[in-house]
Structure 1
Amino acid sequence: MRQTLRVAAYAVCVRDGRLLLARGRGRDGRPEWTLPGGGLEHGEDPYDAVVREVAEETGYRVEVARLLGVDSLRQALPRRGTRSARDHHAVRLVYEGRIAGGELRHETGGSTDMAAWHPLDAVPALARVGLVDAALTLWRLGPAAGRA
């Protein structure tokens, strides 16, 4: 099985008791919510990547407040179309972000199709990726080891 590695940076942006999320499509094609963020380009600093990704997916300019931690996920991904099955390792750096400007808008032609604010207490009822829960744990608890 082919091995792949993806390093990505995401932002937890909470304002007035609401969490900023972006909506994409899961492997099954159904919509699911995730944190704004995404993969690093070759040579890109994770800090710069999270600023760029938040702007692309939400329209907001974000200031990075702090690194919350790292979430690591390894999973077997089945063959899909022309892609062979993979042993995939995702390393996700999670930052706390503060909105510094811009206006909420939806991404066009990207990996997400909508951005929206959700009340924190409503997040558990959303169709969401596991990263959202891991990142909120990092945000709430601030573990010294930076691991949920």
Structure 2
Amino acid sequence: MNRQLRNRELRVAAYAVCVRAEQILLARWVARDGVKKWTLPGGGMDHGEDPLETVVREVEEETGYASEMTALLGIDTIRRQYPRKLGAFADFQGLRIVYEGRIAGGELRHETDGSTDLAAWHPLDAVTGLERVELVDVGLALWRSRPPVGRIAGKG
């Protein structure tokens, strides 16, 4: 197998934009290096799992809430390269499916032993002041504009 092909990685994930009373539900992601940034609740799809099942499962794991997805907002992709062992690089592509969700039950709690450490509601007008991953901005742009093809104009 070609060395470049072995270094390709594809991750499919599903996320929720949950807004109520002018606040958005976010989870604080903890990177491997300890950096913490707010993100949309959601995460990687398990093999054989439906994306809708993924996002509902991930919202519950990261926030404690039962959720229902009400609309498919769009799909976003990212591509990054990062170093691997022995001077190689991984060619990573993330396919991110973004839904609009609503809270259907449960109580807010923080994830333990996961990739996030906090969950909280944040005023929409305060999001720009948060340390956050760009997925938050992507999700809010999709939620606000609801593009017919599920893609933000000018991205890609």
The residue type paired with residue 99 of structure 1 is I
The alignment status of 1:111 with 2:111, answered yes or no, reads no
Equivalent pairs, count: 147
Q: List gaps (5 residues or longer) in structure 2.
A: none
The alignment status of 1:35 with 2:35, answered yes or no, reads no
- Choose from 138, 141, 146 the match for 1:142: 146
Q: CA deviation at 1:65?
A: 0.3
After superposition, give the CA deviation of every residue in 1:19-76 in whole Å (9 maximum; x if it has no partner): 0000012364211000000000000000000000000000000011010000100111
Q: CA deviation at 1:88?
A: 0.2
Larger Rg: 1 or 2? 2
Q: 1:22 to 1:140 in 2, by over 3 A?
A: same
Partner of 2:12: 7
Partner of 1:133: 137
1 CA distance for matches of 2:43 and 2:20?
A: 21
Partner of 1:97: 101
1 CA distance for matches of 2:125 and 2:67?
A: 23
Q: CA deviation at 1:77?
A: 1.6
Superposition TM-score, scaled by structure 1 size:
0.94
Q: Percent identity?
A: 62
Which stretch of structure 1 is more off in the superposition, 22-31 or 47-56?
22-31
Q: RMSD of aligned C-alpha atoms?
A: 1.6
Q: List gaps (5 residues or longer) in structure 1.
A: none
The residue type paired with residue 106 of structure 2 is G
The residue type paired with residue 64 of structure 1 is M
Partner of 1:122: 126
Counterpart of 1:75 in 2: which secondary structure?
Answer: strand
Partner of 1:17: 22
Which stretch of structure 1 is more off in the superposition, 84-93 or 55-64?
84-93
The residue type paired with residue 94 of structure 1 is V
- Choose from 68, 71, 77 the match for 1:66: 71
Counterpart of 2:110 in 1: which secondary structure?
Answer: coil
2 CA distance for matches of 1:100 and 1:42?
A: 26
